[in-house]
Amino acid sequence: MNTIQNLMTATLKTIRGDATMQEAAGRMRDEKVGSLLVEREGRIVAIVTETDIVRKAAARGADLGKEKVEAIMTAPVASIEIQRSPQDAHDMMGDLGVRHLAVTDKGKIVGLLSVRDLLVYFKSVSEPRITQD
């Protein structure tokens, strides 16, 4: 059985809660990721996503260069245990309405799984059904 351990990103991308939203957006662009885990005193306490920046800040006209990540971050971080299946992760994302899950091993965050990771996985295990001309 495939587990999400094979799909997750093991290198955790973090940012401080007192960083600006503009810093977070720039880091996401530079690192080509859609989220950053928010760290405080060496512990992961939340997540900030590109969707958070757009819906919770930019849409209300926030000054992204001044306002802090902690104003829009989501806590606690939705998580799933490392031995769970890709289908479990898919179902959890759908149920919670999230696009990112922290992956835990005995309660410790060891990776991050995105909806994009799942799309790549499900594409690799499915039979082609749609063709292009």
The pLDDT mean for the chain works out to 94
Q: Which is the CATH superfamily of the domain at 4-125?
A: CBS-domain (3.10.580.10)
* Residue linked to tokens 């971080």: 77
Q: Return the pLDDT at 3.
A: 86
Tell me which residue of 50, 48, 51 sits closest to 68, measured CA to CA.
48
Lowest model confidence (mean pLDDT) among 15-19, 26-30, 121-125 = 121-125
Q: Side chain identity at 29, as an amino acid letter?
A: R
Phi, psi (rounded to 5 degrees) for 56: -95, -15
Predicted confidence (pLDDT) at residue 44 exceeds the cutoff of 80: yes
| Structural domain boundaries in the chain | 4-125
65-72 average pLDDT score: 97
DSSP 51-73: HHIIIIIGGGT--TTTSBGGGT-
